[in-house]
Amino acid sequence: MNEIKFSDWGKIDLRVGTILEVKDHPNADKLYVLKVDIGEEIQLVAGIKKSYSKEELIGKQIIMIANLEYFKIRGVESQGMLLAVGEEEISLLTVNKKVKNGERVR
């Protein structure tokens, strides 16, 4: 694993957000398009469809990278990246207590 400088850690803006809406990606079977509240509404594209139903995701607070360069995944813009673990069975990184949307992870 490559090390990064401790000063680089501060460049990563990890935030807590609540998933407000989940739609199927129009051009991919394994992807969802999420609307997430991080103090403002943003859109994420995530490959978590095989591990979570839409109903399971609504209202869930997740941890995400908020300052990642926007990029398109199969034609749909993603404005960040949620954090998860696992290959076959994906588990989202979440908080264990409800916190304010947009709260910074330290």
User: Which residues 6+ apart lie within 8 Å of 54 measured at CB?
Assistant: 22, 32
Instruction: Map residue 57 onto helix, strand or coil.
Output: helix
Q: Which domains does the chain have, with CATH numbers?
A: 10-92 (2.40.50.140)
81 forms beta bridges with: 65
Say whether pTM exceeds 0.85: yes
- The tens digit of pLDDT for each residue in 36-82 reads 999 999 999 999 999 999 999 999 999 999 999 999 999 999 999 99
DSSP conformation class of 47:
S
Residue that the structure tokens 């990278």 belong to: 65
- The tens digit of pLDDT for each residue in 84-103 reads 999 889 999 999 999 999 99
